[in-house]
Amino acid sequence: MELRQLRYFVTLAEELHFGRAAAREHIVQSALSQQVQRLERELGVRLLDRSTHHVDLTPAGVAFLVEARQILDHVGRAKQVARNAVAVTPTLRVGIIDAGYDSMPQILRELQRAHPDVTIHQVEAGTPEQYRQLADGRLDIGIGHASQVPHEVTFELIRLDPLGVLVPDDHRFAGLDAVPVAALADELLLLGEEAQTPELNQFVIELCRSAGLAPTIYEGTVESTRAAADLVLQHRCVHCIPSSSRTSNRPGTTWRPLTDPVTYYPWSLLWHNANSSPHIAAVIDSARQLAQRLGWLQSVARPTEPIPGEDVPTVTSRSDEPV
């Protein structure tokens, strides 16, 4: 089986017309037909139903099309990775949870000031997906709560982010300096999309349990901090988010820190432990400088009892460098 045969088949499946498919591939129609027939013989199945004026995919062709596209996509990514390795302009692929959180954008601005020649591509993905992309080389570095880190990923804590609650301006919490966690018992609590922020969702639930309450969860979910703020403005729920979320400044809403216990959400940089790229080292160095300058790893108070599953009390890193 040859890659060109897969490519010809995919093109033909998209056009369902031999003439148009051949024109797209810049070959004669007879050559296209021969290669597809060879592919069918090798597979031992018919991929296409052909008539004088019509071409259709068979059930086997429909199933094979999905796999063929994935193979071609993987080959395309492999080519790009190889080209990037020798590119004149260094490229960094960076994972972010949500564009509404400001930790990584600030780190990248710090990086660009020191290394203006680096081209940065930001990829929005939840932490579990970042782990997968770090493992297969699609990401260079990411950010998230390092609660269930796979063995091939190294992490370093870079920010202890005060956790609070976002409410409408006329909500009873808005007049408080801080909101006791136990006060959330009477509120509908909005969580993020599970595929995007499972660590934050679990962190909030365990925080509530540590305060002796079982939170009442709002049935809907959202895929972004902006959408969450919209629901809060409609008085449908309240939303627990770290202070680094830009949503905390949304007009019409008020963010108040949680207390009893005072709680910090831990953000860590994530990277593959076999990746020794100097660009990753530059990101880590930028994050350390920013954390020191802005006091990201300083906290006014810590919970007297650790939250189950929380990694805040001990700064944990698999790197050899101290935090």
Question: In the chain, what are the helix, strand and coil shares in percent, each to the nearest 5?
Answer: 40, 20, 35
d(CA 195, CA 206): 18
Chain region(s) in the chain for CATH 3.40.190.290: 90-323
| Positions of CATH 1.10.10.10 in the chain | 3-85
Please answer whether residues 111 and 248 qualify as being in contact, where contact means their C-beta atoms are separated by less than 8 angstroms: no
Q: Do strands 48-50 and 55-57 pair parallel, antiparallel, or not at all (unpaired)?
A: antiparallel
Say yes or no: domain 90-323 is CATH 3.40.190.290: yes
Does residue 300 or residue 71 have the better pLDDT? 71
pLDDT tens by residue, 233-260: 888 899 999 999 877 677 899 999 999 9
C-alpha angle 74-79-81 in degrees, rounded to nearest 5? 95
Average pLDDT over residues 46-62: 86
Four-point Cα dihedral 310, 314, 320, 323, nearest 10:
100
Instruction: Tell me: pLDDT of 304 over 70.
Output: no
Which of helix, strand or coil describes residue 30?
A: helix
How much of the chain, in percent, has pLDDT values that exceed 70?
89
Q: Can you list the alpha helix ranges (DSSP code H) found in the chain?
A: 3-15, 18-25, 29-43, 59-85, 103-114, 127-135, 198-210, 225-233, 278-294
Q: pLDDT digit string (tens) for 109-153?
A: 999 998 888 889 999 888 999 999 999 989 999 999 998 899 999
Asked whether residue 322 carries a pLDDT value surpassing 50, the answer given is no
192: which DSSP letter? B
Which residues, 6+ apart, have CB-to-CB distance to 262 below 8 Å? Answer: 162, 178, 299, 300, 301, 302, 303
Whole-model pTM above 0.85? Answer: no
Could you name the CATH architecture of 3-85?
Orthogonal Bundle (1.10)
* Among the ranges given (45-54, 111-120, 216-225), the one the predictor scored with the smallest mean pLDDT: 216-225
Give the pLDDT of residue 154. 94
Lowest mean pLDDT among 63-72, 119-128, 248-257, 264-273: 248-257
